[in-house]
Amino acid sequence: MRNVLILGSGRSGTSMVAGTLASAGYFMGDRLYPPRHSNPKGFFEDPEINGINEKLISLVTPNRPPIIGKYFFRTRSVYGQRWLSRVPLSVRWKVTREIEERIRRVVSREPYCFKDPRFSYTLPVWRPFLRDCCYICVFRDPATTVNSIIKECSEVEYLFSLKINRKIALKVWELMYTHILEYHVKEGDWLFIHYDQVLTKEGLDKIEDFTGAQVDRSFPEKSLKRSKGDFEVDSKLWDIYCRLCELAGYVPH
């Protein structure tokens, strides 16, 4: 079994892919977040993995002031919300000795499978510490993803303080996948997979062949596909989506 990182925008099916590998014998973290309504079968994310990525993103994006931030600058994410940050393509990562030690500790527990949308940004920081690691990029169309993000932000308490709209969420989607396509994919072994492919035997075969791990074929459930895309996106985003589809061997609708 190869070590695995699962990345891609939040609300794109990353949890579903992680769930197919959860019983394969991977270390995913010591304290996985419990399920809730939006992910009734679990998130397969660990506070330490998320915390490392939160810290990294906080060092390169504008922070919200602690007091006036209750009323102003609410489009800036705070701790826990940075999977919805907008990290520029020109980012220069700042890495402390503490962060390096935290990464070393978690990747020492092999084989591991870590899932976090924030990896879409922070992967360059992790790379020097990864051995025999492959990458699974999960995606679905931007309109459906954005509708799911906005719904999540309206229902989950830790996101209530974040001001988000369709335009901001689309920018998050664009930046995450542009980081992947323009920078990250140039190194390492990658599997691109569409949400809908994970619901098929062929898609699960791809994950199994790619990772060398036995997948749980009973985990994906079509009934949990509840969001829909009900608006058109501009040509730039559609081109990114089509490029992802091409890499995944998926014909977009």
pLDDT at 19: 97
215: helix, coil or strand?
Answer: coil
Using only C-alpha atoms, the chain has a radius of gyration, in whole angstroms, of 17
Q: Give the Cα-Cα-Cα angle 98, 100, 105 (nearest 5 degrees).
A: 95
Could you say which residues of the chain have pLDDT below 50? none
Q: What is the pTM of this model?
A: 0.96
CA distances from 97 to 65, 93, 109, 149, 215 (A): 26, 13, 20, 33, 36
pLDDT at 26: 98
pLDDT at 69: 84
Q: How far apart are CA 79 and CA 158, in angstroms?
A: 9
pLDDT at 8: 98
Q: How far apart are the first and last CA of the chain?
A: 34
Name the architecture of domain 3-248: 3-Layer(aba) Sandwich (3.40)
pLDDT at 226: 74
Q: How far apart are CA 79 and CA 47, in angstroms?
A: 11
- The length of the chain in residues reads 253
135: helix, coil or strand?
Answer: strand
Whether the bond into 111 is cis, omega within 30 of 0: yes
What does the pLDDT look like over 80-94, one tens digit per residue?
999 999 999 999 999
Helix (H) and strand (E) counts in the chain: 9, 4
Q: Which amino acid is at 220?
A: P
